[in-house]
Amino acid sequence: MRTLPTSFAAHAAGAATTIATAWILARTDGVTLGFTDHDRPLLVEGVPCEPASGFDRTSATAHAGFAVGEEEVMGALTSDRITDADLLAGLYDGAAVEVRALDWRNPAESVLLRAGTIGEVLLVDGAFRAEVRGPASVLEQATGRLFARTCDAELGDARCGVPLAGFTHAATVAETDGPGRLRVEGVEAVPAGRFTRGRIAIGGRTLMIAAHRADETGVWITLWKPLAAEPPAGTPATLTAGCDKLFQTCRDVYANAVNFRGFPHMPGNDFVLSFARNAGENDGGVTVP
């Protein structure tokens, strides 16, 4: 049970209240921002909170067990400190957030309603929606290794061991089909699909590649997340190959079967559900002399 300060509890129990909500965000790059649904700036926990009438939040929900309680912060981009470029660049992903209630006449005394991290951030038509994930959400994340056919290492990391220098290529943007699809030149000799699940470094950002295709018009790269703006023709880029985590790819493309971090020969569901039959030989495929 949350214990409220005596003065705040007395005010909240009154017939009329002057309670406001403040959000304090600490981004992973060290930037701290504060916002409030009040119509005047407030100083909350030493953080200047800017009034943002375009902000709103949904009611928080809690579940039994470790299920994630959901809350969303929504609003228009009315603050100069929040830009669509920063949102698309992922600067708010994983940011620590505190949701506080306070009497706007005495903002120095606030009550922590909820703490968590920013999860998914969506940007649509000049407005954003940010999901606030509670601390219990980390308990739903898988830890350790999984027994699976596919590799659980990342291409080029210490467990993989593939030197990426031989699979990194310089390219140039030739044209765009929106901020998430680029035609590039300089990598025509690379087999189609080699950059799928790889990375592209462009304009100071490194983004994941969703698809790498080639047709009569050239080589096209589709991004998982779009760029903040379409890069002009001639923009340099660096493309790094990706991996589909299959044993055949590790062996045939990267000659790295010895470091494969999956279990390609694990039995499938058909083997698990099989059983001995009277009509079968039941010898495991071994010929007995």
Q: What is d(CA 245, CA 43) in angstroms, rounded to the nearest whole number?
A: 50
Burial class of residue 191, CB neighbours in 10 A (0-12, 13-18, 19+):
exposed
Q: What is d(CA 87, CA 79) in angstroms, rounded to the nearest whole number?
A: 13
What pLDDT is stored for residue 58 in this prediction? 54
Q: How distant is the alpha carbon of residue 246 from its chain centre?
A: 23
Report whether 22 contacts 50 (CB < 8 A). no
Residues contacting residue 194 through CB under 8 Å, at least 6 positions apart: 167, 212, 241, 242, 253
Residues contacting residue 223 through CB under 8 Å, at least 6 positions apart: 180, 181, 182, 200, 207, 208, 209, 210
What pLDDT is stored for residue 235 in this prediction? 95
Amino acid at site 61: T
* Domains, the chain, with CATH or none: 6-137 (2.30.110), 164-259 (2.40.10.170)
- Give per-residue pLDDT as tens, 183-220: 999 999 999 999 999 999 998 888 999 999 999 999 99
What pLDDT is stored for residue 287 in this prediction? 62
What pLDDT is stored for residue 55 in this prediction? 55
What pLDDT is stored for residue 261 in this prediction? 94
What pLDDT is stored for residue 248 in this prediction? 95
Please state the φ and ψ torsions of residue 269, each to the nearest 5 degrees.
-65, -35
Residues contacting residue 240 through CB under 8 Å, at least 6 positions apart: 156, 164, 167, 168, 169, 195, 198, 199, 200, 201
Which residues of the chain, if any, have pLDDT below 50? Answer: 59-70, 75-77
What pLDDT is stored for residue 86 in this prediction? 77
